[in-house]
Chain A
Amino acid sequence: MRSLHASRLLLIGFCALVYFFLMLPLLVVFPISLSSAPYMQFPPPGFSWQWYERYLDDPQWIDSTWRSLYIGGATAILALALGVPLAFSLVRGRFFGRIVVDRAALAPIIVPHIIFAVAVYGLFAKLKLIGTWYGLVIGHTVLALPFVVLVITAGLRDFDRSLEQAAEGLGASRWQTLRKITLPLLRPSLVSAGLLAFISSFDEVVVALFLAGANMTLPKKMFDNIMMEIDPTIASVSVIQILLVSVVLVLIGRFGRGLKDSAR
């Protein structure tokens, strides 16, 4: 009994330590974002909303935030449009080289982002896509695709195909079956995949550094800001970004299929 008690305490202590380690940046960032000092200082000498006001009053910050939001949204839509059919063919198709395609779909996770960014930069420079928002959407879609494929293939592997047979037996065409049965039942996976694709784009900085040009996304603007002038605005932007991503994660938890369900 005693040793059980001790090991349990040890476990709790370890978990608390890990949790503390993960939360530490937040514990620093949150107070600084509310600091009254004109520069980075911890602990902050007093309370003020000034850095949030500066963020909201600066059109550059607001522009880059909107840009990140719609690039993330467009990336999610494009990644779903490509990834869902790809996932279907990987799970249900019986074509030559399926295994190769299956592995290749995950390649963007394996290839370092910087390598990918340099390569895409070379290509997009020729195509005159540097500095366009849709060029960045294309780049981000490549990075987001593995998440979509992973989540959707997991959802499809667990899918009870007798439901589709039942629908067809009851008179539904292939298309009607897909629209009325398969996709509605896959909705949690679709929601997770889309939101993950959104986050992967919203947080992405390496490819954005190369491709965004003057049209800055939020992470690129933050990067530039750190390079030029260090003031606590960056902390308030971080807090806003963290809150946004947290909201998305809560949405995944509520309406999506958790990654823990799809791990197989």
Chain B
Amino acid sequence: MAARGGSAELLIEGVGKRFGDVVALDHVSLSVAQGELLTILGPSGSGKTTLLKVVAGFETPDGGTVKVGGTDISALPPARRDIGMVFQNYALFPHLSVKANVAFPLEMRNVAKPETERRVAEALAMVELAGYEARLPKQLSGGQQQRVALARAIVFNPRLLLLDEPFGALDRKLRETMQLEVRRLQRRLGLTTIFITHDQEEALVLSDRIAVMNKGTIQQIATTTEIYERPANDFVADFVGESNIFHGTMSAPGAVTLDGGRTLVVRSDRQAGAKVGVLMRPERFASGGTNQFAGEVIESVYLGTSFKLRLACEGGLELLVRQPARGALPAAGAKVAVGIDPEAIHVF
């Protein structure tokens, strides 16, 4: 599971955490390469925030180790971990000016005054907030507050940057701007970064790799395309993107018989008799294709660039299909035929 290029900067090994009867983290291991942005994606209660707190030092794990740059930091207090973190609510110090907020980590490190001045100015310029030094956090908009939090988290050149759902409170447009900006900054500074979110779209936009978490375990760690195209299990397939998931048995090499009886031609080297899951992404359907489905529209939605159709097909199959928006939107009850090639079907 080692990341592409570069050594593992952050290494988490066998970390577990229980809260009473609840297992928040179940022997979680993962590694993040130098300069990589890894997203931990999962629903609320999946353990992603607990994992982040363990890395930051705010939560003591029941077992396992956290290493940064080869050094075990498990026993260090948060103050000595050298990790920059952007909190969900930004956690800006309300009684301190923007400048004092950003200078705070430098002050704690006894950095000399002129050096502090220079680095604060540099960090604020980086997040395009030069000129806002004297403002108090409450005098800033949500997006600006977030930039200050980001500047404060990077101003002391931390070994690691942690982002805990930082875009949740922003409106859609601002969120997209901030996502790109964070990505640009992270690349430019070569910061090893862990980003926490429950928003799969956000994860796909930002990440080098994604770790999908559920119920305290990592379901899959892979690149964004891998996660989307070749999910490891039902949970990942369902959580990331829109999907048609079916279950069946390999009836022959390259053929799956679904539990409803329908047989699909697929590309898979799984042995005959194996129980498998089948994933077909809605946008991979076309008019032609090896596997043909004829069905009746039960629901249709116009989405501007595409139509989203829900089809009831023979054999009790229900399919979610996206088609380029061309011509009239098929009405409910209309007969529609779609097809999908074996290459577009993922078997897991």
Q: Which residues of A contact B (CB under 8 A)?
A: 160, 162-163, 165-173, 176, 180-181, 184-185
Interface membership of B109, Cβ < 8 A: yes
Which residues in A have their C-beta under 8 angstroms from that of B104?
167, 170, 172, 180
Would you give the shortest CB distance from A97 to chain B, in whole angstroms? 22
6 smallest beta-carbon distances between A and B, as pairs? A171-B108, A166-B91, A170-B105, A168-B78, A162-B91, A169-B78
The secondary structure that dominates the B interface is: loop
Binary interface encoding of chain B residues 213-254 relative to chain A, with 1 for a CB under 8 A from any of its CBs, else 0:
000000000000000000000000000000000000000000
A187 nearest in chain B by CB position = B95
B80 nearest in chain A by CB position = A171
Of A166, A169, A173, A184, which one neighbours B57 at CB under 8 angstroms?
A169
With A181-B93, A184-B95, A185-B95 as known contacts, state yes or no: A168 contacts B87, CB within 8 Å: no
Which residues in B have their C-beta under 8 angstroms from that of A181?
93
Interface membership of B281, Cβ < 8 A: no
User: By the criterion CB–CB under 8 Å, are A167 and B58 in contact?
Assistant: no
Of A162, A165, A171, A176, which one neighbours B156 at CB under 8 angstroms?
A171
In whole angstroms, how far apart are the Cα atoms of A166 and B152 in the complex? 10
Which residues in B have their C-beta under 8 angstroms from that of A166?
85, 87, 91, 93
Report the number of A-B residue pairs with Cβ-Cβ less than 8 Å: 59
In whole angstroms, how far apart are the Cα atoms of A166 and B57 in the complex? 11
User: By the criterion CB–CB under 8 Å, are B156 and A169 in contact?
Assistant: no
With A162-B89, A176-B108 as known contacts, state yes or no: A169 contacts B95, CB within 8 Å: no
Q: Which of A160, A165, A176, A181 has the most CB of B within 10 A?
A: A165
Interface membership of B260, Cβ < 8 A: no
In whole angstroms, how far apart are the Cα atoms of A162 and B92 in the complex? 9
User: By the criterion CB–CB under 8 Å, are A168 and B91 in contact?
Assistant: no
Of A171, A180, A185, which one neighbours B79 at CB under 8 angstroms?
A171
Q: Which of B58, B81, B88 has the most CB of A within 10 A?
A: B58
Instruction: Pull 25 A–B residue pairs with CB atoms less than 8 Å apart, ordered by A.
Output: A163-B93, A163-B94, A165-B56, A165-B58, A165-B78, A165-B91, A166-B85, A166-B87, A166-B93, A167-B93, A167-B104, A168-B78, A169-B56, A169-B58, A169-B81, A169-B85, A170-B79, A170-B84, A170-B105, A170-B152, A171-B105, A171-B156, A172-B108, A185-B93, A185-B94
Which residues in B have their C-beta under 8 angstroms from that of A172?
79, 104, 108
* Residues of B in contact with A, size category: 20 to 34
Interface membership of B77, Cβ < 8 A: yes
Which residues in A have their C-beta under 8 angstroms from that of B152?
170
Which residues in A have their C-beta under 8 angstroms from that of B91?
160, 162-163, 165-166
Q: Which residues of B contact A (CB under 8 A)?
A: 56-58, 77-85, 87-89, 91, 93-95, 104-105, 108-109, 152, 156
Which residues in B have their C-beta under 8 angstroms from that of A167?
93, 104
With A162-B87, A162-B89 as known contacts, state yes or no: A168 contacts B94, CB within 8 Å: no
A170 nearest in chain B by CB position = B105
User: By the criterion CB–CB under 8 Å, are A173 and B87 in contact?
Assistant: no
In whole angstroms, how far apart are the Cα atoms of A83 and B328 in the complex? 74
Would you give the shortest CB distance from A241 to chain B, in whole angstroms? 35
User: By the criterion CB–CB under 8 Å, are A168 and B77 in contact?
Assistant: yes
In whole angstroms, how far apart are the Cα atoms of A181 and B91 in the complex? 11
Would you give the shortest CB distance from A183 to chain B, in whole angstroms? 10
A163 nearest in chain B by CB position = B91
A162 nearest in chain B by CB position = B91
A165 nearest in chain B by CB position = B58
Which residues in A have their C-beta under 8 angstroms from that of B83?
169
Which residues in A have their C-beta under 8 angstroms from that of B56?
165, 169
Would you give the shortest CB distance from A182 to chain B, in whole angstroms? 11
In whole angstroms, how far apart are the Cα atoms of A185 and B91 in the complex? 13
Contacts A162-B89, A168-B78, A169-B81 known; 14 new A-B pairs at CB < 8 A: A160-B91, A165-B91, A169-B56, A169-B83, A170-B79, A170-B84, A170-B108, A170-B156, A171-B108, A171-B109, A172-B79, A172-B108, A176-B108, A184-B95
Would you give the shortest CB distance from B40 to chain A, in whole angstroms? 18
Which residues in A have their C-beta under 8 angstroms from that of B81?
169
B153 nearest in chain A by CB position = A170
With A176-B108, A184-B95, A185-B95 as known contacts, state yes or no: A169 contacts B89, CB within 8 Å: no
In whole angstroms, how far apart are the Cα atoms of A172 and B107 in the complex? 9
Q: Which of A163, A166, A173 has the most CB of B within 10 A?
A: A166
Which residues in A have their C-beta under 8 angstroms from that of B58?
165, 168-169
In whole angstroms, how far apart are the Cα atoms of A164 and B293 in the complex? 58
Which residues in A have their C-beta under 8 angstroms from that of B95?
184-185
